[in-house]
């Protein structure tokens, strides 16, 4: 019985070692693929200029816009009454009733 337990432990250790080696093999292959890949070169100056342009665009979009409302000139009360009574224009005075 003791021997079968020891055999089982030995087989499990061997199986775990094989799995660990397989994982390490895949990790090594992945690392080699990453290291062999060409890295694109980035011009830092153009990157900074593009970033600054994007920041200014974002600032322009975020900043609140000022709305200037034009105030209407105040209409005098007499003018309101006269326009209500006589329409838009006042009729000219009648020359036959002129004093004289």
What is the DSSP secondary structure assignment for residue 91, as one 8-state letter? P
What is the DSSP secondary structure assignment for residue 63, as one 8-state letter? S
Residue ranges making up the domain that contains 22:
2-85
> Within a domain: residue 44?
yes
Q: Is the pTM of this model over 0.85?
A: no
> Within a domain: residue 96?
no
**CB within 8 A of 99, min separation 6: which ones?**
none
The tens digit of pLDDT for each residue in 29-53 reads: 999 888 888 877 778 888 899 999 9
Q: In the structure, what pLDDT confidence band is assigned to residue 12 with cuts at 50, 70 and 90?
A: very high
> Within a domain: residue 99?
no
Provide the domain count of the chain.
Answer: 1
């974002």: which residue's tokens? 58
The tens digit of pLDDT for each residue in 53-84 reads: 999 988 888 887 777 777 666 667 777 777 77
């Amino acid at each position: 019985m003791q021997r079968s337990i020891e055999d089982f432990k030995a087989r499990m250790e061997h199986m775990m070692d094989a799995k660990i080696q397989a994982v390490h093999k895949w990790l090594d292959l992945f690392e080699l693929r990453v290291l062999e890949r060409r890295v694109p070169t980035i011009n830092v100056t153009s990157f900074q200029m593009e970033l600054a342009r994007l920041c200014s665009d974002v600032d322009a979009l975020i900043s609140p816009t000022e709305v200037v409302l034009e105030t209407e000139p105040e209409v005098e009360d007499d003018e309101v009454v006269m326009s209500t009574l006589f329409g838009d224009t006042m009729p000219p005075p009648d020359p036959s009733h002129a004093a004289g």
